[in-house]
Structure 1
Amino acid sequence: MSLEIDDTRAWGPPYAKPTLGKHTTGPGESAYYLAVNRNKKSVGLSFAHPAGVDILHRLVRECDVLVENYLPGSLAKYAMDYETVSNINPSLIYASITGYGQTGPYRDRAGYDVMVEAELGLMHITGERNGPPVKVGVAVTDLTTGLYTSNAIIAALLGRIKSGKGQHIDASLSDCQVATLANIASSALISGEKDSGRWGTSHPSIVPYKAFKTSDGDILLGGGNDRLYGILCTKVGKQEWIIDERFKTNAQRVKNRDVLEQLIENETRKKTTHEWLEILEGCGMPYAAINDIQTTLKHEHVLARKMVQEVDHPTCGPMKLVNTPIKYSVSTPGIRTPPPTLGQHTDEILKDTIGMSEEDIDNLRSEGVVA
């Protein structure tokens, strides 16, 4: 069992029951909440109250994993820091997710995805070639940090099988952002150069490999080698470009990038995106329409892969959510339960997991300890 400690301000209306804390989030935050909290159960609990801390400690005894995202040291005053709870349950895997980690000069700074994108390189390399830096369209650093942390938790659980001991995982947005600079970071470390800047949809060393305008949208074309470049030329009806001395090799195409890309776009603008998709079907060259989100969620391949699932929410009624992306040969993961309202499962968890009576729960609720 896993225990996740969240501030009630993360539970935005209209999907929450605002019984504890002040709710300041809006529809965007509520949608974010819905996106990441399916298959979870919610206990509304005030751990500013000693009885609330006692409940958390009793839950810790039953848990394999605890995940928290408070500033370093913040939970010590509630006796929910790693040192305290690891004494209660030495096999516990305790994962702390923060903006800048448990150590370092920025450890006490609040961390938000967009700030980390800006400060640690991602925003600088994102955007059009001659345009300003921009943030990624989703909170990608939040997401990658969650993925790194889940991998770390699994590794720690496997380690516990051998050692019998838990451990504290220190995960931060900043570290994960630096890690996901990947080949860009490696190139800069090796070359000593600043970086290659922003490239939009283009590839810095392969031409043609970018998005081109059509008569009604955009299409991404990947002529990644001489053979694929030849297919592109044939499909746009310009076979003469294959033997053009300016474009015969990738090195020459990179040198004459602006000329070739403009020539290609002059052709792609003559047809709709759908027409180009039909022309390119089965050609063997990588290509893709650039779709908006609604088109993506209705895409035939997305639906065939069951990436959209409808569930019945107790407050909102039927709603569609993005499904888990991983398929297994035996297991069948999916959305078992919709995202809970705040405190929806308080009675269930306190009764079934730590054996509290209805009378005890009612008394705690009257005192404002649980909701």
Structure 2
Amino acid sequence: MRPLEDVRIIAVEQYGAGPFGSVHLADLGAEVIKIEDPRAGGDVGRYVPPYAEGEDSLFFETFNRNKRSLSLDLSSPEGRAVFEDLVKVSDAVYSNLRGDVPAKIGITYDDLKHLNPAIVCCSLTGFGMTGPRSKEPGYDYVLQGLAGWMDLTGDPEGPPTKSGLSMVDYSGGFVAAISLLAGLHAARRDGVGMDCDVSLYDTAIGLLTYPAVWHLNAGFVPERTRHSAHPSLVPFQAFEAADGWLVVGCAKEKFWQRLAVVIGHPEWAGDPRFATFADRRRNKDVLLPLLEEIFRRRTVDEWLKPLYAASIPCGPINDVPAAMKEEHTLARDLLVETEHPHWGTVRQVASPVRVGADRPAYRRAPRRNEDFGHVVRDLLGYDDTRISTLTDAGAFGPLPDGDTTPASGGGAAASGGGASEGVGAVGS
């Protein structure tokens, strides 16, 4: 069995942060049942451009492989009844909504424990379920600014800069997945579930790590550094070569001693201006211009060969196409393929989570409501009469005139991705 093959998760999730956290659990074998609001056209991620046609988007494929999809209107009593039946046979309810929404729509532990005392309710929200900002929507860009990340990033002479990736979203997804797994472990041990109140804000503040500790205890005020230089280790930064850029880092004294030899100045290893971490930091305005002038004399490859040979931490600054072609990327099986009815063969990056020797099996992301039959018949045991009654009552969304089957694959619900306070609520 795969590590999480005995785990079933109801995912009331959307867009990036929440689906990013649960996709790794799905890759590890968990059955992740993605609840999609039929009133909003399902997960808004289905419509993210530029690579989107109808409800098929490569953005959605990225975050939802190996999952199942069920269209379910949680705002209707009948849809709620189906959801509660799912809670009875599941291990966790996982969501990424605005901080006040989980309680508002009744998906916290107190709301569900009478159905399943061991249920774990993991809520990844923008700002958490308590505090003055709990009702605010949270987005990666906003959080990078609010938590001080943008002030730390970019050139000293330039504006505050966002990371090229949505690192608060992705880190928040990982934090939520860790919290959910810890909750599951405790629930299986003790027979009692709980809430996991996780937020993007908490994640962003927590990741300030040592700069925050330096500030809180020594009054340190972080500043942006030229060429992405490390705040205390010199040299450890990007250097411009004759044909591109590379990173060189001396995180240990032995690396500086080796670098001095590679660049043709072995005497600098013992130079009192540069001999120690403290000396180099104190005299960085002298040392760095000297190093920059030297590195501009050769190409990136001409520098990397002797640097690798000397075991000095270094690497080229690749663009994304180059990173996808890196020999190590291929050797680590980090590119995987799935087959999709619209996109054909979809290539994407594998989960970095590794458990044991077996590699995950990858299945494309589900079309909207694709797993209706599996969920309502196989898991819940509903018969035709029950399904028909729930369908007519709107549990699975509105039906087009003359149709008698729930919306599937975008055939019945409005396409667009508008948000409601329920499943489609803007959260994280």
Structure 1 length normalisation: TM-score?
A: 0.89
- Mapped contact 1:8–1:20 kept (Cα < 8 A): no
**Distance change (3 Å), C-alpha of 1:19 and 1:47:** closer
Equivalent residue number for residue 299 of structure 1: 326
- Mapped contact 2:240–2:292 kept (Cα < 8 A): yes
Q: Which range is displaced more, 58-67 or 157-166?
A: 157-166
- Mapped contact 1:127–1:198 kept (Cα < 8 A): yes
Match of 1:50 among 63, 74, 77: 77
Q: Does 1:348 align with 2:355?
A: no
Q: Which amino acid aligns with 1:50?
A: P
1:242 Cα deviation (Å)?
A: 3.2
Q: Does 1:231 align with 2:258?
A: yes
When the two chains are superposed, the root-mean-square deviation of aligned CA atoms in Å is 2.6
In structure 1, C-alpha distance between the alignment counterparts of 2:15 and 2:77, rounded to whole Å:
18
**Distance change (3 Å), C-alpha of 1:229 and 1:270:** same
1:255 Cα deviation (Å)?
A: 2.2
- SS of structure 2 residue aligned to 1:294: helix
Q: Does 1:4 align with 2:11?
A: yes
1:291 Cα deviation (Å)?
A: 0.9
- Mapped contact 2:76–2:395 kept (Cα < 8 A): yes
**Distance change (3 Å), C-alpha of 1:77 and 1:228:** closer
Instruction: Provide Cα deviations, 1:304-347, integer angstroms capped at 9, x if missing partner.
Output: 000111111233210111112133334x2424311112111112
Equivalent residue number for residue 205 of structure 1: 232
- SS of structure 2 residue aligned to 1:328: coil
- SS of structure 2 residue aligned to 1:63: coil
1:120-269 equivalence runs, <5 A: 120-193=147-220, 195-199=221-225, 200-269=227-296
Equivalent residue number for residue 33 of structure 2: none
Q: Does 1:114 align with 2:114?
A: no
- SS of structure 2 residue aligned to 1:267: helix
Q: Which range is displaced more, 258-267 or 361-370?
A: 361-370
Unaligned 5+ segments in structure 1 are 12-16
1:48 Cα deviation (Å)?
A: 2.2
Q: Which amino acid aligns with 2:168?
A: T
1:203 Cα deviation (Å)?
A: 1.7
Equivalent residue number for residue 128 of structure 2: 101
- Mapped contact 1:307–1:323 kept (Cα < 8 A): yes
Equivalent residue number for residue 360 of structure 2: 334
In structure 2, C-alpha distance between the alignment counterparts of 1:160 and 1:170, rounded to whole Å:
16
Match of 2:317 among 290, 305, 326: 290
Q: Which range is displaced more, 236-245 or 84-93?
A: 236-245
Q: Which amino acid aligns with 2:13?
A: D
1:75 Cα deviation (Å)?
A: 4.6
In structure 1, C-alpha distance between the alignment counterparts of 2:224 and 2:15, rounded to whole Å:
39
1:30-109 equivalence runs, <5 A: 30-76=57-103, 78-109=105-136
**Distance change (3 Å), C-alpha of 1:337 and 1:106:** same
Instruction: Provide Cα deviations, 1:183-235, integer angstroms capped at 9, x if missing partner.
Output: 11111111134x22222521222211111001111111112344322211221
Q: Which range is displaced more, 175-184 or 257-266?
A: 257-266
In structure 2, C-alpha distance between the alignment counterparts of 1:158 and 1:277, rounded to whole Å:
46
Q: Which amino acid aligns with 2:240?
A: K
- Mapped contact 2:336–2:362 kept (Cα < 8 A): no
Instruction: Provide Cα deviations, 1:165-200, integer angstroms capped at 9, x if missing partner.
Output: 00011111111111111111111111134x222225
Structure 2 length normalisation: TM-score?
A: 0.78
1:367 Cα deviation (Å)?
A: 5.5
**Distance change (3 Å), C-alpha of 1:42 and 1:8:** farther
Q: Which amino acid aligns with 1:338?
A: R
Equivalent residue number for residue 14 of structure 1: none
Equivalent residue number for residue 27 of structure 1: 50
1:363 Cα deviation (Å)?
A: 5.6
In structure 1, C-alpha distance between the alignment counterparts of 2:295 and 2:169, rounded to whole Å:
36
In structure 2, C-alpha distance between the alignment counterparts of 1:27 and 1:87, rounded to whole Å:
44
In structure 1, C-alpha distance between the alignment counterparts of 2:385 and 2:333, rounded to whole Å:
44
Q: Which amino acid aligns with 1:65?
A: A
- SS of structure 2 residue aligned to 1:2: strand
Equivalent residue number for residue 4 of structure 2: none
Q: Which amino acid aligns with 2:284?
A: R
- Mapped contact 1:324–1:335 kept (Cα < 8 A): no
Instruction: Provide Cα deviations, 1:22-47, integer angstroms capped at 9, x if missing partner.
Output: 55643379444322211111111122
1:243 Cα deviation (Å)?
A: 4.3
- SS of structure 1 residue aligned to 2:195: strand
**Distance change (3 Å), C-alpha of 1:231 and 1:354:** same
- Percent identity, aligned pairs only, is 30
In structure 1, C-alpha distance between the alignment counterparts of 2:312 and 2:146, rounded to whole Å:
37
Q: Which amino acid aligns with 2:219?
A: G
